[in-house]
Amino acid sequence: MSTFDILQAVLIIAASYVIGGIPWGVIVAKVAGGPDPRSIGSGRTGGSNTMRAIGPRKALIAGLLDAAKGLVVVLLARLLGAGVEVQVFAAMASIIGHSRSPFLGFGGGRGVAPSFGALLAFSPLVAVITVPLFAAIIALTRYSSVGSLSGAAIAGVLLAIQTAVTPLDPALYLYAIGGPGLVWLFHWDNIGRLIRGKERKIGTPRPDANPLPDREAVPPAPAPAPPDPGPKD
């Protein structure tokens, strides 16, 4: 690689990190007038927590914009003539930016949406196959994290198989491992809770939530004491 190619690759990867760091969950919530996703639930800005904050429709918009980050950085690198290796590193930089956003004090989401967006650029076939499997796993287990972890792993295996069979550029083996690897890394706390049996299922209230008091369980107020008749004559 020439000095120009190296400089271009560094700039593309750095820009991809910044693009990945755009916190669409927070932005959409603010525009919609809803609570900041970081103020509730897990404190993350990904799809699941954004849905808890502003509902499924607005969360879908935020999720699509997050996925677009991974797609855009790959297409941008491709448009600038960068090789597949640079495209892969750009995709992974966007996942890191999404999860360690420079705009949120290096907080963010879990990286699922931008990893899927990049997968859509690399292999639309694998991306289309992965979506129903991801949804089915969540429906069966009621764990968003299990769906994300399983979907990422399945996508990585399918991409590696397609890369070998088709064949695609061997650099995609790196994304087949690195993309799911980052998603798993940023789900590390979820993995720990799953092992301990502490992970919360979809629809289950948080244990620290303050439910409304049960009216039947509230004891009746004590009857007022009779008035003091005063001293007798």
CB contact at 8 A, 37 and 12:
no
Q: From CA 67, how far away is CA 111, in angstroms rounded?
A: 9
Q: From CA 158, how far away is CA 37, in angstroms rounded?
A: 33
User: What's the number of CA atoms in the CB half-sphere (13 Å) around residue 69?
Assistant: 32
pLDDT value of residue 233: 46
pLDDT at 215 over 50: no
Q: From CA 180, how far away is CA 231, in angstroms rounded?
A: 85
Partners of 107 in the β-ladder: 101
- The pLDDT of 25-35, averaged and rounded, is 91
- The pLDDT of 197-207, averaged and rounded, is 75
Tens digits of residue pLDDT in 59-82: 999 999 999 999 999 999 999 999
Listed by start position, the domains of the chain span 3-36+43-202
- The pLDDT of 191-213, averaged and rounded, is 72
- State the DSSP code for 100: S
pLDDT at 174 over 50: yes
- The pLDDT of 123-129, averaged and rounded, is 97
For residue 209, name the pLDDT band (cuts at 50, 70, 90).
very low
Q: Kindly report the CA angle at 100 between 94 and 103, in degrees rounded to 5? A: 95
For residue 206, name the pLDDT band (cuts at 50, 70, 90).
low
152 or 216, which is more confident: 152
- State the DSSP code for 43: S
* Percentage of the chain modeled with pLDDT above 90: 69
Written as one letter, the residue type at 175 is: Y
pLDDT at 42 over 80: no
CB contact at 8 A, 163 and 176:
yes
pLDDT at 23 over 70: yes
Under the phi-then-psi rule, with left for phi > 0, alpha for psi from -120 to 50, and beta for the rest, what region is 81?
left
For residue 202, name the pLDDT band (cuts at 50, 70, 90).
confident
Give 101-138 as a DSSP string. Answer: BTTTTSB---SHHHHHHHHHHH-HHHHHHHHHHHHHHH
pLDDT at 211 over 80: no
Q: From CA 181, how far away is CA 115, in angstroms rounded?
A: 10
